[in-house]
Chain A
Amino acid sequence: MNPARRSHARLNVGLNVGLCVVALVLASAAVVGGVDVQRTRGERADAAVEQARYGDVLAAATKEAEAVINLDYRHPRDSTATVAAGATGKFRRQYDTSSAGVTKVLLRNRSVMDGKVVWAGVVDLHQDEATVIVATSGTVANVQTGGKPVSRNFRLKLDLVHTGGRWLTSDLEFVG
């Protein structure tokens, strides 16, 4: 081999050894990074489930709150059945017990409550339990108001439990 080729080959050896070292360092970093990516992916998947839970809980609380503030003496059974469908536990038992009385009051007062949820926020959230506060805006018309709708805004606090794949209201409080 002539001296020029020998020198070139020596340079190539040096370069390739250097590239091997760089490749080894990068491969080690990629393995560490890969492990970190896997761990982070799992954490983000868990976080996504938890974050979706907020949406589910707020949707369930909004639906139940709107059922509670939309009552019509002309369709008392529909009104109370909608509330009962989103209820469970203590709240469901109380509501079932009092629904006959609620119907009588609706009919006697010719009451029509109409409203919607304007804002809802999660106070506390666990895997199977949640507490949500709800602000509603609406009207009530009955014999006392001469059948004219009068503005009525409520502050509600709902406890929900996750049961049978659904979030149901186990307690409901009108915050005075």
Chain B
Amino acid sequence: MTARGGFLGSARTTTVLLVVVALLVAVLAGESWYLWLRPEPSVSASRPVVTGQLTHQAAVDAASSATEEILSTSYADYDQQVRQATSKMTDAFAADYRKTVSDLRDRFIADRTRLQVNVVDAGVVRASSQRVVALLFLDKYVHKQGQATAFTPYRALVTVVHTDHGWLVSDLQTR
């Protein structure tokens, strides 16, 4: 038995093997952290976009279509439009939006106003996997009964966040 189990039977071999196993577990833990748990680089002025192009392009497209839907409205289906628009927003932003539009509702309907907003250009300002900020160039056409259509070019900075329901608008600033 001593001859047969000389190496494999010794307590020293057990110790060495336990150390080797522990080292390999540590190596695997390090590799796993690097591959799956390492945090995404943070967004900064020198590195404003830290996602792949497909991710931020999808977010910018979502911001564009949501912004057109949020800002375009008509006296004819005002309430329905507000309901549709809020489905593209986070709960917090939707609450702010409802408050703003309820203040404007009566005047908007009385003037029989139709508002059409089109995105003419869109670009990514900052992007992480969870949050993308897009700059949109917007053309606004306002039709009021008995008045000529008014055209206004303007700009919007739209923030969208990634949720289980896709990209939702969490902030919208216009200038």
Interface residues of A (CB under 8 A from B): 1, 6, 9-10, 12-13, 15-17, 19-20, 22-23, 26-27, 29-30, 33-34, 36-37, 40-41, 47-48, 51-52, 54-55, 58-59, 118-123, 125, 131-133, 135, 137, 153, 155, 157, 175-176
Contact = CB atoms under 8 A, between A and B. Distances in A.
Which secondary structure characterizes the binding site on chain B? mixed
Contacts of B123: 120-123, 131-133
A123 B56 CA distance: 11
| Secondary structure of the A contact surface, majority rule | helix
Contacts of A54: 47-49, 124
Contacts, number: 131
Contacts of A13: 5, 8-9
Residue of B10, B45, B49, B134 most packed against chain A (CB within 10 A): B49
B47 A51 contact: yes
B53 to A, nearest CB: 8
5 contacts: A12-B10, A12-B11, A13-B8, A16-B17, A26-B21
B17 A123 contact: no
Nearest to A125: B53
B46 A52 contact: yes
Contacts of B46: 52, 55
Contact of A23 (B17, B47, B48, B122): B17
A55 B157 contact: no
B155 interface: yes
B146 interface: no
B1 interface: yes
B102 interface: no
A107 B81 CA distance: 51
